[in-house]
Every structure is written in structure tokens, then in C-alpha cells.
Chain A
Amino acid sequence: MRCGVPRSLRRRPVQLSGWAPLKALLPVACLPLFLGASLHAAALAPGAPDSPETGGTLRLTASSSGGTLDPQISYVHITYQMEAIVYDGLTTFAKTPGPMDRHAIPDLVEALPAPEDGGKTYVFHLRHGIRFSNGREVTPDDVAASMRRIFRANSPTAGPYYSHIVGGTECLHDAEHCTLSGGVIPDDTAWTITFHLTHPDSEFFDRLAFQHASILPADTPPHDTGNTAPLGTGPYRIASYEPNSGLVMERNPYFRQWDAEAQPAGYPDEIRYAFGLDPEAAVTAIENNQYDWMLENVPLDRQAEIGSRFSDRVRLIDQMVIYYAALNVNLPPFNDVRVRQALNYALNRKAVVIYNGGPAVSLAACQMLPTGAPGFEPGCAYTKGASPEHPAPEWKEPDLALAKKLVAESGTAGQKVVIVTPQSGGSDAIANEIRSTLTDLGYVASVRPITPVIEFSYIQNSDNNVQVGLTGWSADYPSASSFLQTLFSCATFIPHSDNSINASQFCDHKFDALMDRAAEVSLTDRKAGDALWAEASRALMAQAPAVPLDQTRRVALMSSRLHGAFDTPIYEAIFSQMKLRRAGDQP
């Protein structure tokens, strides 16, 4: 369901310091959009917007590539972001600036169908005339084949996102003979695809919008295509790819814009991604206009510099991300709810905010739903003068006295606590802050940094007996369930497994039931559903299986020639909407 925060889980140590402060609204999403202004492009490349800003080569940089290009396999942000303009699903998320909690909109289909059969059946009407980059039209068969391929190619989310399609569970266990014959029914004459689900799913459209449900040609091989990108329908196609040096995207000659919000036509003629530059170097290179945009956040020590020298070239982009410390509810001392609450009370989130770049880019978190997520209601149970029963509107300051009292009641002071953290500057520092806090509370605390790639699964495996594990989580699509249900339901705790995303090992059937009800209500009444999710969030924090730390904003630096309304939630940036000033009209 969502990609974990170690977004660049790849080869580089994850900088848990991607966090950027939230606080103000700022230019982010407020630019007017004037795209799709012209469907009658003239001398331009076919499918390109008729605008003086069309054309040019966009130069992007990232410290490393995202590995496989297979959109149904890849599960890293860099590829997700890049392939948003290469592939389309039946649905998609709006590729325009706007609030964070927008749900999926139709993409390859004419409209979002109304649920039938109590939410278990959907009939999608495929758009006519949309072509893959080889010129072949997208047919209902391609859709059915792509759905089968999710299982056949072992997509990571096949189980959690798509196994409720009728026949999905069978496919999961026997991918080679996967037909989904009862679950996805293409109809060439009506040009429709009918989906049957085993149970209603309020997030079905969102899941279809995720990249793993990209629609690919039916003859795409049923295995990870690796460094070769399958054909797509978006405005660009991937022309060449060297995972250790770079990637080039060029226009898809068969692309014609069908919906300016779902898949707008692109401005640059060519997009080049260079891999291998670390963020510090990338900032310098962009300052010097050697690149236009970088994947990573601007490193903390450069933020002051770019803030003062290039404030007009900085974008702060809200992210639906939450950083937290998972507390193992099955191991002492955190098997005592009072200790978990005590740590929540005691941790100075002001320090956490400072570590992550200060209030401009980091927002202290008090609950496991990030600000802006569906179902989010402001409220902080663990700050001075607040309690789970009487939450304050926001976090103000730690309450060390209360925390010490709770610890004293629990009688656990003096116990040993080991904090496991990914080994990278930002998280190290926060782990150190938590260590100091635990020491103040009377524990014998120490920090154990672990290689980032391993840490994420290490803290999940109950065999490793991790007491406190630092990690973060960001949603694949905006939904409350992708935070609360994924991270804290009984179903996501799998003992002795590296894949047990519920690192707190929290399992409360009453809480599960509450979430199920919220999901059910959301099907028909989003508002009522969201209210229930908010209630679930409060219920969760009363049990405090984790210490929410903060939510960050992305600090993006642009070259002086880059502009445009390209920032959007989920994808963060839509490369097709990046416009390049010509040499003559540099500001």
C-alpha cells in the first residue's frame, strides 16, 4: 500500500532528513495553471503544448538511479515520479498543483464508474484513440493483461493492493496460471473492462491509480523488464537508460493530450536524468545552473544559503509523510502503555524540528496521520497540559514531569533501551535526542545505527527484538488507511518475518474494528468516513504504539531557467510541466 519512507532505499543511505517544515502555505500550490491551453499545436512536435515555453532539454540529477524501470515492479519514488509521465493507469492522481487529499481521477477511462453490487463491481469505459508509443491503440485486453501481469511479474503490492480482485488470491499463489478470468473482464465491443472484487474497497480507484496498475501492452513479458522500459501511453517515452549514469526521455510521438489534469502534454522536448551526484554537489550544480532540478531534498546545511541567495528559485512542497519511532509493545519497557505515553510526553519535538531544518520545513507531529491526509484532524495528546482525553490543538512543549511520573508508576526505570536507527546524519541525531530523553526518564539508553537498507526490515522482524525503531512512512496515495491500517493493524504484524510493516507489533481488535468501519463508511460517505478515521487516529495515539516525530516539506531548488506549475502532491513534481526559459529571457 504505500511506499515506505526510505524512498531512496536504493543504494544511498536514506537521509531521514528529507523532512521539510510545513508551517505556512507559501507559493507551493497557488500558481494558476494555464496548461492544456492549446490542443491545436501547430509547428511543434505532435502532442506538445503550443506555448513559447515548449521545447528545450530538462536536466535532472539524482544521487543514484532507481533500478528497474518496470512500472509494475519498481517501488521507489524516483521511478514513480519519472514514470508518471510515461505510463497511465485506468485512474490517476491529478498532475496539477492542489491540496494533498485529492483522490484519484479518471485517466485512461472516460469517468470513474459508480460502484455496483454493493461496491464489488465496477464497469470502466476505456477512452478511444489512446496509443502506446509504438502507435498501437490501448484496448480492454491490454488492461486485463496488465492486471494479470501484476501477479505474474510478482509486483510487490500484488498482495496488499490487488488480491481482492476476484481470482487475485489464486494468482498470488500460482502466478503462472493466473487468469483473473472472474475478476477482470474485457469487452472489446463495448470497449469496457469490468472488475469484480471479493469485498468492497473504498480505495479501489486510488489503488488503480498507483503505478503498479499501469496499463502496458498485453504482450509485455510477464517478468521484471529491468533496465528496459515497457511501452507506455504518456507524453514521454524512455529512450535510453544506464542505471549508473543516466536516463533520457523523449517525446512519445503518438501522444495526444486527452485530459489536462490526468496527463497533461509536456513542455520540454527532452528530459535527461543524470545519476551519481550526491545532494550537496547537486545543490551546487543547480546553483550554478548546471542542472535544473534534483531528486533529493536540499541538504540541511545548504538551506540557509539557498534561502537567502535563491529564495525565488526555491519551492517548498508539502509531503504526505510521517516520521516516527516505533515502540515495541511486546517488549519491556514499552509493553507498558504508561512508558509509551511517557516517552511521547517527554520528547522535545522542538529539537526534532530543528534537526530537520527548523519550522519552515518541519512540523512537529503528534499523531500518526500527517497533516493534510484524509481524516486528519488537528490535535495533540502529548504536550504540556494535554492528555489523550483532552488533546491540545497542537504540540507546544514537552511535559517531563508528567513523563517521569508515568515512568515511576510503571516501575521500569533503570531498564536498558536500545534505539535502532538508520545510519544517516539526520536520523542519528534524532535517535540521539531520544536517547537523551530516555536517559532523563531514568533508562539506560543507547543507539544502534544500522545500514539504512537493512534497518527498515530489521526493525520489522520480531526476531531482532528491537525496542525502539526509527523510521518513516509516506503514502502511495492519500488515504488514512495507508497510515493507520497499514502500520498498526493485526494483519500487518507477521512474527519472525522481515516483512512485517507493523514494527510496533501493535494488535488491538477493537481498533481494527473501528478502522474497518471507517473504511466501510468511506465507500458511501467520505465525510463521515473521514471523521471515523480521525477517531481511529486518536484511539491509536491513546495507546501510543509509536512516537510521532514530525512531518517535513520538501525543499526543492530550481535552476534559474526553470519555472512552471509542476509541483503536485503524491508525485511532488511533474517533469512534463517544467518549463524552461530560453537563453534570451533569463531573469
Chain B
Amino acid sequence: MNGPVDTAPPGPWQTAFRALGGNRSAMMALAVLVLIVVLSLIAPFYAHDIAHTDPFRANVAGSFMLDGRAVDIMQANDNPLHLGMTPAGPTWRPSAYMLGSDSQGRDVAARLLYGGRISLLISFSAAVLCIVIASIVGILAGFFGGFVDMVLSRLMDIMWAVPVYLFAISLSIVTISDGLKIGPFTIEADNLLIPIAIIALVYMPYAARPIRGRVMALRNADFVMAARSLGVPRWRILLVDILPNVASSIVVLAPLMAALALLTESALSFLSIGVQTPTASWGTIIQDGEGLIYSRPMVAIAPGLAIVIVVVALNVLGDGLRDALDVRETSKRGT
């Protein structure tokens, strides 16, 4: 039966959750995500109490203790020309420079945890923001149709016509030097809101289109027609009949959008137009590691792996949700 979920308790949702709970890989993915979130939340504890380091403070001239002797963080080379300063490599001990140091003498392991906070914060917020905007746009366009739909759809056409990454990079470069000025408000260039907003904006059409399509289908569905003919006001139809029915599409999009956002954030930060120093994200750490890829590859490899793990987990979770909610695949990604 295809009725409005008017009075009914969230029956379909309960079954969906039960189905999700029974999905072993989805549960494992969730566990991994929770673990990584927890790890990044304890970043200050790790940095302060275990590694005894300030991961945001450059420390090239310093040294640390390893097995009772002092080791220079930046080590000179004994080649004939004395060329090159190499940061300390991984010690594999959590007490100091477990994953080694970056070119500014900072503890990569500690930065990885702090970077996780920022990367996850940005990707989750961007996903939420994106889906909120996309839902508004998609529902407005789909429900009202006509002129509203035309304006919104053309706007999305324009956004579609530019490759996502180019779009994101353009916006980042424009905002990066001087922040964003909207009327009396200024958002500083190093404010995380900027990458969040950019990522949310560029993926908006990707999320809005399927929502719009779903709403359009619902608008012509029997039960909506029936409600209309009964003279139910439009806002009530929207709220009571349409919204709950697109909710599953929206929920399924969330982890996939978060995965896309994480990849995009890392790409922007990698091009140093995402998160700004001294804040670190996984992307900026990869960028730091780019200059060390030949001598200390761990600096770039560790955050890269972290990204892969989180994105895999998000995708698995997304698949699980989709199966549980029985929604056909709708999302797209960039390159």
C-alpha cells in the first residue's frame, strides 16, 4: 500500500533499522566510523598526555628523546655536500613521533588525529548542509514546478556544466585570500565555514536532482492527488505527505554525500585552497607530505589511508542504508 504515513508510527523506519542492524558489514562500517570519531576526539589527550607535543607548533630546531637519547627532529644528512634536512621518521612508539615528523617538525600522528577532527567535521557538516539545501531546492522545484522549477533547474544546469572540482577550486581561490564578505558580515578566510559551504554548494545539484525527481513523482501520486482534491492546503500536503516520503531518499544520500565531501575536502586542502594553516585536515597533511613523499612517505600515506578507510566505511554504511530503506541508487561523485 502506498499511503501517507499520516498517523502511522515510523513502521517502515523501524524495519529499516532492524534490517540495518542485521547487516554485518554496515554495522562494522559504523563501528569503524565511531572508532575514528572517538580517536579524533581524543586528539588533545593524545597530543598533550601521550606524545607530549603541540602538533600546531613548528619545532624544526628541537629534538626529542628516543630510547634515552636525544634525537634531532630535523636530521642533517652526512652526504658529501651535507645536502638536505630530513625530518625524523616513524618511531612506531606512541610516546613520540609515532609516525614521524613532518617538514615543520610536528608530530604526524598527533596531527593525524587533529586532522581527523577537521576532516570529519567538514565532511559531515558539508553533507548535512548540502542535503538541507538540496532538499529545500529539490522539494521547492519538484513540488511547485512551473516557474520556480524552471529557475532552480536552470541554476542547477549552470552548476552542472562546470566540473565539480573546477567549481570548488574556483570558489576556494576566490574566497581564500580575503574571506567572504556578505553585507556587514565577514567570514575570515581561515574559517571552516568556507570549505563547508563550498563543498555543500557544489554537490547541491547532485543531491537536489534525485530529490526533485522523487517529489515530482510523489506530487502526481494517487494519495497526493486525493489529498488535493479534498482541499488539503499545499503546505500540509508538503509537510505531511511529501516530506516523510522523500525522507528515505534523503537519508540514503547522507553517508554518500559525506564520503564525497571528505574526498573533495582533501582534494581542496591538497591544493592548499581548503583548510588553512595552522589548522590541519587530512588533505593538508597529505599536502605537507607531498614535499616528503620520497624521503618520508608516511606523512602522506597515513592520512591517505585514513581517508580511504573512512570513505569505504561511509560507502558501506550508505549501501547498507540503501538496502535497508530500499532506495535505488541515486548519487554521483566527482573526479
Contacts and interface: CB of A to CB of B under 8 A. Distances in A.
Interface of A: 13, 26, 280, 299-308, 311, 314, 316, 348, 350-351, 354-355, 357-361, 423-425, 428-429, 431-433, 435-436, 446-451, 454, 458, 555
Contacts of A308: 77, 79-80, 83
30 contacts: A13-B272, A302-B84, A303-B83, A304-B85, A305-B84, A306-B83, A311-B79, A311-B81, A314-B81, A314-B83, A348-B61, A350-B61, A351-B60, A354-B85, A355-B60, A355-B103, A357-B83, A358-B77, A359-B82, A361-B83, A425-B288, A425-B290, A425-B291, A428-B272, A428-B277, A429-B103, A432-B104, A446-B190, A448-B190, A555-B83
B128 interface: no
B91 interface: no
Contacts of A555: 83
Interface string B275-315: 01110000000011011111110000000000000000000
B14 interface: no
Given A304-B84, A429-B103, A436-B57, A451 B296 contact: no
B190 to A, nearest CB: 7
A357 B58 contact: no
- The 9 A-B pairs with the shortest beta carbon distances in the complex, nearest first, are A304-B84, A307-B83, A303-B84, A307-B79, A308-B79, A358-B85, A360-B82, A303-B83, A354-B60
A449 B58 contact: no
Given A358-B84, A423-B272, A307 B77 contact: yes
Contacts of A305: 84, 294-295
A360 B81 CA distance: 7
Given A359-B76, A454-B177, 5 more contacts: A304-B85, A304-B295, A351-B58, A351-B61, A451-B176
Contacts of A311: 79-81, 83
Contacts of A435: 278
**A306, A354, A361, A458, most chain B CB atoms within 10 A:** A354
A360 B83 contact: yes
A308 B83 CA distance: 8
B109 interface: no
Given A301-B293, A425-B103, A425-B288, A357 B84 contact: yes
Contacts of B226: none
Contacts of A350: 61
A26 B74 CA distance: 24
B86 interface: yes
A300 B81 contact: no
Contacts of A447: 276-278
Given A429-B103, A446-B190, A448-B190, A300 B74 contact: no
Contacts of A314: 81, 83
B294 A429 contact: no
A370 to B, nearest CB: 21
B277 A449 contact: yes
A358 B177 CA distance: 30
Interface string B79-123: 111111110000000000000000110000000000000000000
Contacts of B287: 425
B221 interface: no
Interface residues of B, number: 36
Contact of A432 (B84, B176, B273, B277): B277
B324 interface: no
A293 to B, nearest CB: 17
A274 B152 CA distance: 46
Nearest to A303: B84
Contacts of B81: 26, 307, 311, 314, 316, 360
A191 to B, nearest CB: 49
Nearest to A555: B83
Contact of B291 (A301, A348, A358, A450): A301
B256 interface: no
Contacts of B254: none
B247 interface: no
A26 B82 CA distance: 12
B271 to A, nearest CB: 10
B173 interface: yes
Given A307-B77, A428-B277, A301 B296 contact: yes
B58 A304 contact: no
Nearest to B179: A448
A26 B81 CA distance: 9
A433 B58 contact: yes
Contacts of B83: 303-304, 306-308, 311, 314, 357-358, 360-361, 555
A358 B87 CA distance: 11
A144 to B, nearest CB: 44
Nearest to B299: A301
A301 B294 contact: yes
A300 B104 CA distance: 12
Contact of B292 (A26, A301, A355): A301
B291 A299 contact: yes
Nearest to A434: B58
Nearest to B85: A358
B79 A300 contact: no
Contacts of B77: 303-304, 307-308, 358
Interface string B133-145: 0000000000000
A302 B103 CA distance: 12
Contacts of A449: 176, 272, 276-277
Contact of B58 (A303, A316, A359, A429): A429
B310 to A, nearest CB: 25
A280 B80 contact: no
Contact of B293 (A280, A423, A458): A280
Nearest to A360: B82
A111 to B, nearest CB: 40
A555 B84 CA distance: 10
Given A301-B296, A429-B103, A451-B173, A307 B80 contact: yes
Contacts of A280: 290, 293-294
B76 A458 contact: no
B278 A432 contact: yes
Nearest to B76: A358
B158 to A, nearest CB: 25
A304 B61 contact: no
Contacts of A424: 272
Contacts of B253: none
Contacts of B252: none
B189 interface: yes
B114 to A, nearest CB: 15
Contacts of A306: 83-84
A426 B29 CA distance: 38
A303 B296 CA distance: 13
A337 to B, nearest CB: 27
A350 B81 CA distance: 19
A362 to B, nearest CB: 9
Given A302-B294, A307-B84, A555-B83, A354 B61 contact: yes
Contacts of B292: 301
Contacts of A302: 84, 294-295
Contacts of A348: 61
**A301, A424, A432, most chain B CB atoms within 10 A:** A301
Given A308-B79, A354-B74, A358-B84, A450 B176 contact: yes
**B83, B104, B296, most chain A CB atoms within 10 A:** B83
Given A448-B190, A451-B173, A358 B82 contact: yes
A454 B273 CA distance: 14
A311 B83 CA distance: 9
**A304, A357, A423, most chain B CB atoms within 10 A:** A304
A300 B85 contact: yes
Contacts of B82: 307, 358-360
B295 A301 contact: yes
A300 B299 CA distance: 15
A425 B289 CA distance: 10
A448 B79 contact: no
A148 to B, nearest CB: 39
